[in-house]
Amino acid sequence: MTITGPVPEPVSTVAPRLRRPRLMRQDWRDIAFLHWAVDPDAVAGFMPPGVYPDTLDGSTYVGLVPFRMVDAGFARGPAIPWAGTFLETNVRLYSVDGTGRRGIVFLSLDTDRAVVVAGARTVSGLPYRWARMHYRRRRTGATIEHTYTAALRRPGRRPRSRIVVRSGGPVAAAPLDEFLTARWGLHVAHLGRTWYIPNAHPAWPLRAARVTELDDDLLASVGFGDLAGRPPDLVAFSDGVRTEFGPPVLATTPRDR
């Protein structure tokens, strides 16, 4: 079966204007992008109602993305002192809604802050999970080695992840990089409806990167265990960006032109 969805908006590294009020700001730092190409049919069942897999050249992608969240805060107020800085690793898909608006669908968001898990799940319906996590940064010659580890906190078997990425010099974004990173919001099913939560930030400054170690159960924990057994099809790294979030809208809301 081939999934046929709406015609997506053009990919652009310039974020659309955010509607006011601004609800939250976050700094995303030391972020690694690991992506595997998959058939769109393989992810269609994970999409919220009214949302479809977004594709490039016939493929869509599953992403495994570890990073540091820094100085998150509400609107333009100060950073939240007890929950503004933490580690996160998410598994994500790439989506388009009926208006053609491109976004991200999160299958999991693992973090080491229990209060973030409780708050985000309640307010937005996002699938946050509590985990033990660690990040280490070490220079090795001309490259920097980034090590991300995670272990879910839950009874029984605990999915774990260890990702080691080496980042090098700056690189220009290729069309696939832009397709995956120029995403200006997320789709989520919550309270019986599908929502789009917009954000805006500068274009990602990317660096060359390669994976030197990957031992991951997080992909398997959301239904994609076969992917960790083969190398990612695309690896990238960014020092990070500062982002702002606008108010959520129903995914059926016409997008701004």
Is residue 177 domain-resident? yes
List C-alpha distances in Å: 254 to 63, 99, 100, 155, 217: 27, 6, 9, 43, 38
Is residue 4 domain-resident? no
Q: Mean pLDDT over residues 46-67, rounded?
A: 97
Is residue 213 domain-resident? yes
Q: Mean pLDDT over residues 3-11, rounded?
A: 81
pTM: 0.94
Is residue 50 domain-resident? yes
Cis peptide before 81 (omega within 30 of 0): no
Residue 171 pLDDT class (50, 70, 90 cuts): very high
Q: Mean pLDDT over residues 146-170, rounded?
A: 94
CB 36 within 8 A of CB 230: yes
Summarised one tens digit per residue, pLDDT across range 113-134 is: 888 888 778 888 999 999 999 9
DSSP at 154: S
Give residue 206's domain range: 24-250
| Count of structural domains, the chain | 1
User: 36: buried, middle or exposed (CB in 10 Å: 19+, 13-18, 0-12)?
Assistant: buried
H helix runs in 163-210, sequence order: 175-181
Domain containing residue 139: CATH number: 2.40.400
> What whole-number percentage of the chain has pLDDT above 90?
79
